Amino acid sequence: MFFGADGKPDDDANGIRPVSLLDLARLNRGEYGAVVTSPYLLPCVRLIQPRIVIAIAERRDEADSSETLRKFHGLMAAQADLIATSSEKIYLEMCFRYDHVLYMPNDIEESGTVWTEAISAKLRGESTDVWMHRQWEAQAAFYRNWHERIGDHETICYLLASYQYLLGRSSAKSYLSLSFEQMMIKEFTDCLRTHYRFFSAMDAKEGDLEAAVRVYAITALTDEERSRVRVLQAYLDQGRTDLAKAELFRLNDDYRNAIGTLLRSDDPEAGSHLLRCYLPVYRYQEALQLLERIRKQTPERYLADLLRGTLDMLSGKRHEAIHAFLRAAAKDWLLLGHMAELERWELETEFALGRHRHA
């Protein structure tokens, strides 16, 4: 079942027909899958309690990429069982966040097979790792071929390094070195953070945490970053390698590996670090469950209410969301700004329901 943009004239020929919200509410729960392209249609998706939710992460207009909009699209991705996109920029970003991402470029024939087989695996309750790895291999081969044809190029080498990193291969370092060298030769600014710091994540992934902290320290230019270096070194001195490793991943925006490291850790502080990783990638349901389990006493005591309010908003539970946001605002009146977020959500949802007619 597709939740998205207005249909085309040949929709009927393709077996696609519009379904009203009233009809949608009458459908048997759990018998359908949902493909959703807009976060504002999530309340409709919830009506059918689908067996599987597939989020299509599309390219967005940079002129309309406010923090609120990014949050709404992030929430849609976090709620999905599978995430698919035709944008490589979005694809790579998502691969560093989630375990169930598919790349759907129009020029790769195999993508259709990967799509159907990954969905089948999900419906069977199986991991989609094999399909993700297959696509990483294909992308790595694609950029390796380009590198062989045109030689060192900062973007091609960086993308090749990224896919090799995802595949866990040490060759990622050599390609990243080539990319960094080209950036320096061409006098690009800020490549110390965007490129060189990536080495620290690679060292961490290989288990060389001492080297990872040293590399991160080279890129630590601000007081805050130097403070992080001291914290990282303290973790190593105390033998708390899980925390050091996860933090190095997080500092490189590799939330997927950071979360995996912390979930396997038995360090008593792993939970609080896990919470810091869930929030930036909008995994609010897991963050709320974690809060309730560890009963964390944070200075932000309103956090649980904010998470509940946002999840209620996604489910179309307007009154529950308002109450949760007001409870949070009672502890900090500045949080009333979330009421404006709720208002925008409602306006955008009404617009989406008026513009989209296919379910």
Lowest mean pLDDT among 52-56, 214-218, 336-340: 336-340
In a 13 Å sphere around the CA of 283, the CA atoms on its Cβ side amount to 19
The answer on pLDDT for 17 being more than 70 is no
Sheet with 101-103: list strands edge to edge. 2-3, 33-36, 52-56, 82-85, 101-103
**Helix, strand, coil % in the chain, rounded to nearest 5:** 65, 5, 30
Both structure tokens of 16: 């696609």
Proportion of the chain above pLDDT 90, given as a percent: 65
Q: What is the pLDDT of residue 51?
A: 92
Q: What is the pLDDT of residue 274?
A: 97
Tens of pLDDT along 43-62?
A: 888 888 899 999 999 866 55
How big is the CA angle at 79 (ends 11 and 295), to the nearest 5 degrees? Answer: 165
H-only helix segments in 49-128:
67-79, 88-95, 111-123
Q: Exposed (0-12), middle (13-18) or buried (19+): which is 283, by Cβ within 10 Å?
A: buried
Distances (CA, A) of 181 to 67, 142, 173: 33, 22, 12
d(CA 161, CA 119): 28
Largest CA distance in the chain: 66
Tens of pLDDT along 104-147?
A: 876 555 566 888 899 999 999 999 999 999 999 999 999 999 99
Q: What is the pLDDT of residue 359?
A: 44
Model confidence band, residue 26 (pLDDT cutoffs 50, 70, 90):
confident
**How would you write 268-295 as a 3-class SS string?**
CCHHHHHHHHHHHHCCHHHHHHHHHHHC
The answer on pLDDT for 64 being more than 60 is no
Model confidence band, residue 294 (pLDDT cutoffs 50, 70, 90):
confident
Both structure tokens of 227: 């403070």
The answer on pLDDT for 333 being more than 90 is no
Tens of pLDDT along 274-284?
A: 999 999 999 99
The per-residue pLDDT of the chain, averaged, comes to: 88
Model confidence band, residue 154 (pLDDT cutoffs 50, 70, 90):
very high
Both structure tokens of 354: 């008026």
User: pTM, whole model, 2 decimals?
Assistant: 0.91
In whole angstroms, what separates CA 222 from the centre of its chain? 27
Q: What is the pLDDT of residue 284?
A: 96
Query: Is residue 95 a contact partner of residue 253, using CB atoms and an 8 Å limit?
Result: no
